[in-house]
Amino acid sequence: MKIGIVGVPPQEILDKYNGNDFIDLDTLFDFTDNSKAEIYLPKIYCATIKSIIANALTIKLDLIIFDNGYSKCDNGRFVSEILKRELTVPIITTQNNATRRHPQPICESDLELRKKFDLIVDSVVKDVDKSKLKRVEPDYGFWGVPPNDFSLLNLFPKETHVFGWARCMEAKVPQDLELEMMVREDLPTVFYAQAFCSKNSLAKYLAKKHNGLYVEVDDVLDNSVKSKIEAYLLLNK
């Protein structure tokens, strides 16, 4: 079966479908056309949520497992309802209440930041070998969710640790707000949120509190945001 997943569904549900072909619908694939989502969503909307809809409309799926509660986001809850009503493919909605934090070696590894995120996203649906990962002492932090446009991550050096919801993903506790809000006090950190996402409130608050840089990106990275992040990294060298 080809199964689309959204968010971080509970492990026991994923285990039930072990061996099937999983596709993360939150991903902006080369073929993802977010404008397709505009038949159900306003034009101005969270790009990640638009990608979920666009992918669900494009990829021929046998099942969607949609983690749509507070372990994902409010937008996800509404959108799962739209998909349930509009698609013929069966949709299982879940709320991941897992509380046992798994270790987060990917977030603190010496891999390129983009590679870290690739592995974090992969680790939701498959076992990732973490035994050879080496921890790196960080110069910077990146807080947030996996961005819609992964090219944003190329701006950061390897010596960047991952915080925020992405860390919760690796820890397999997507509803753990305490872990999501954890940052390292002395570490220059970029607080990222997707435009029109309610996580902007956390990103802005934490950036102000920890003297970090708050960055909001809609859809794909533009030169202005790129320059802003570059400047922050250079000035904090």
Partner 1 sequence: MLLGDVGTSYTKILDVEKEEYRVIKTLDLLKSNVRFDIACGHNAKLKADRVVNELVALEKGSRKLLGEGNFLVVDVGSRDIKYVKMKNNKYEEMDWNALCGATLGFSIELLENHFSVKTSEIEKASESLGVTCGVLGMAKIFDKISEGCEINNVLASFVKGIAENVYRFINGPEFFYLSGGLCNNSLFINSFRCKVEPLGRFVLLEGLR
Q: Which residues form the interface with partner 1 (CB under 8 A)?
A: 211, 213, 222-225, 227-228, 230-232, 234-236
Give least dist CB 77 to partner 1, A.
27
CA angle 155, 231, 213 (to 5 degrees): 85
Rounded to the nearest 10 degrees, how much is the dihedral formed by the CA atoms of 59, 121, 178, 153? -110
On whether the CB atoms of residues 65 and 22 are closer than 8 A, the answer is no
Of 82, 184, 192, 202, give the one whose Cα is nearest residue 140: 184
Q: Least distance in Å: CB of 235 to partner 1?
A: 4
Which residue, 61 or 213, has its beta carbon nearer to partner 1?
A: 213
CA dihedral (118, 173, 28, 13) positive or negative: positive
Question: Residue 150 or residue 232: which is nearer to partner 1 going by CB?
Answer: 232
Q: How far apart are CA 38 and CA 18, in angstroms?
A: 33
Nearer to partner 1, 124 or 229 (CB): 229
The two structure tokens encoding residue 33 = 């056309």
**Residue count of the chain:** 237
Residue 40's Cβ-count burial label (10 Å; 0-12, 13-18, 19+) is middle
Nearest to 176 by CA among 184, 165, 185, 191: 165
Nearest distance, CB of residue 167 and partner 1, angstroms: 25
Closer to partner 1 at the Cβ: 106 or 215? Answer: 215
End-to-end CA distance of the chain: 49
* In the complex, least distance from residue 75 CB atom to partner 1, rounded to whole angstroms: 20
Question: Least distance to partner 1 from the beta carbon of 229, Å?
Answer: 9
**Closest approach of Cβ 207 to partner 1, in Å?**
10
97 vs 201, beta carbon nearer partner 1: 201
- Of the pair 83, 217, the CB lying nearest partner 1 is at 217
The smaller minimum CB distance to partner 1, of residues 17 and 45, is found at 45
Residue whose pair of structure tokens reads 């076992």 in the numeric block: 127
Q: Closest approach of Cβ 166 to partner 1, in Å?
A: 23
